[in-house]
């Protein structure tokens, strides 16, 4: 299992992580987002979407529709499984069709459907460490995604050297 930890001290840091993630993952990647209520799962999805040319204002937690699709420079399928009663309800959405597409799939509250996610997905655990601080732990056991973790690390290091994104 490979893992990186990124400590975000501000919203700008989370945006940088979202950009690094969007630039590093390939089509068809499934990202499992885990964390408590208010940890920043949707905010990270908004950052990824913005990096893909999607207006971040369009990206809201799809709690009541369970899945939203956004199209920009790349397509994003955004799941929020918080309100699902059980795994069967998730299966009824037909997640395999989404996961097998060339889109990037982001699943909020992924721990609720962990057994139904494809093997080798990228897991991101978000921990609140302060009012605007978050600890993002990215891990995978997929060899291809281990390279992605290295790319994310390099992009985040390079972003620290650049002025903040407006």
Q: Which of 145, 146, 99 is nearest to 118 (CA)?
A: 99
Residue 139: pLDDT above 70? yes
Domain boundaries, given as residue ranges, for the chain: 2-157
- Full-model pTM: 0.91
- Residue 144's pLDDT band, with cuts at 50, 70 and 90, is confident
At 45 the pLDDT is 96
Q: Confirm or reject CATH 3.40.50.300 for domain 2-157, answering yes or no.
A: yes
At 156 the pLDDT is 93
User: Could you give phi then psi for residue 112, rounded to 5 degrees?
Assistant: -75, -20
Q: Express each pLDDT in 17-53 by its tens digit.
A: 999 999 999 989 999 999 999 999 999 999 999 999 9
Q: Express each pLDDT in 46-98 by its tens digit.
A: 999 999 999 988 888 766 778 999 999 999 999 999 988 889 989 988 999 99
| Exposed / middle / buried, residue 72 (Cβ in 10 Å: 0-12, 13-18, 19+) | middle
C-alpha to C-alpha distance for 11 and 78, rounded to whole angstroms: 20
Say what percent of the chain tops pLDDT 70.
95
DSSP of 87-99: HHHHHHT-HHHHH
Residue 166: pLDDT above 50? no
Q: What is the mean pLDDT of residues 147-155?
A: 94
Cα four-point dihedral sign 101, 110, 128, 138: negative
């Amino acid at each position: 299992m490979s893992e990186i930890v990124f400590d975000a001290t501000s919203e700008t840091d989370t945006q940088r992580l979202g950009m690094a993630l969007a630039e590093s993952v390939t089509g068809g990647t499934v990202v499992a987002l885990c964390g408590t209520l208010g940890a920043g799962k949707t905010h990270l999805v908004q950052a990824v979407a913005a990096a893909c040319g999607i207006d971040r204002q369009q990206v809201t937690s799809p709690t009541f529709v369970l899945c939203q699709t956004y199209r920009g420079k790349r397509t994003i399928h955004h799941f929020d499984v918080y309100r699902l009663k059980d795994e069967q309800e998730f299966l009824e959405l037909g997640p395999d069709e989404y996961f097998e597409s060339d889109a990037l799939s982001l699943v909020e509250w992924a721990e609720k459907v962990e057994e139904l996610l494809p093997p080798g997905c990228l897991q991101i655990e978000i921990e609140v460490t302060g009012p605007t601080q978050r600890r993002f732990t990215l891990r995978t056991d997929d060899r291809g995604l281990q390279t992605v973790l290295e790319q994310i690390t390099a992009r985040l290091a390079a972003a620290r050297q650049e002025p903040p994104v407006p």
